[in-house]
A and B are shown apart, each in its own frame.
Chain A
Amino acid sequence: MLHTVNKSPFERNALDACLARAVKGSAILLYEDAVYAATKGASTAQRVGQAAKDHKVYVLGPDLLARGFNEGQVLDGITVVDYDGFVDLVAELGTVNAWL
């Protein structure tokens, strides 16, 4: 299963809702305003870094760049993908669950 989160962890609980219920080994894609959760230095870093040990965590590069962050500012253990990569994840990982 691929879980998607698109809201800032500072505004909404979608990321926490996802982390609490994504089974071990499932994948999580952060896109739109959720990309802030993938950045180093944010207070969410420890939580998300921990999650990256139990899950494959991805972040959508175009959304990251649009918001003034680059790949170098992404937490270790998180993979940056583009839209092609997003499509591949959906194709490879089965059911998609959007945490809206």
Chain B
Amino acid sequence: MSIALDDVSFAAGDTLIVDGVSLQAERGKVLGLLGPNGSGKSSLLRLICRLRKIRSGVIRLGDDDLASIARAALARRIALVEQQAETDTQMTVREVVRLGRTPHRGFLTPWLPQDEAAVAQALARVDMQERADRLWQTLSGGERQRVHLARALAQEPDELLLDEPTNHLDIQHQLDILSLVSRLGITCIVALHDLNLAAMFCDRLAVLEGGRIVAAGTPEAVLTEDLLERVFGVRAHVEKSPVHGRCNIQYRMG
């Protein structure tokens, strides 16, 4: 297992937001996190990269307890793509991607060839080399999200967490980002809203409701008509898509 959560809980003040979650992410596979708004998807991702402290339970990264790993060492293993992280700073695309090298650089270490190589490779992977000198403020939403992904890839992580990376993107960019993620070959945990995209690109799915896992498994096993009605409150018809072979959800009106 790449990442394993065991009975993890998290509360903000007195409100329990993540409630006894146990979950495994397999090495090299894409795990999709689904659930209605406020079900705890974002919080769970933040717990896994230790931006928030868990109240109880254990998170393991490989064989190590997450709590025992130094912050910079952790950032060399896990990268996070936030939902729409913005800046007022006038930075170029390349400067943003270079930030990904931060955890790899010591206090006095100069910029090394391997840093340059990692940045170049990350830019190439998201197809942004030609726009590397563009200013952040001139980019479209889709481009910004790709730059964030490149910044995360420049960290050379073993695990990548993405919090609704396709939000506010047009359909072409949604497909671009997710097919890119699914081809990376590293462990990915992706919080998603679009159930069809989740079915298309994720190897496994976990569904959260009120901070608890209510279903986990392959997309075919998880995305049943019964679950969609119970958790998301929608009536739908689920069938195997003749186009891509994964399950496909068609919503019923009224």
On whether the two chains bind one another, the answer is no
**Taking beta carbons and an 8 Å cutoff, which residues of A are in contact with B?**
none
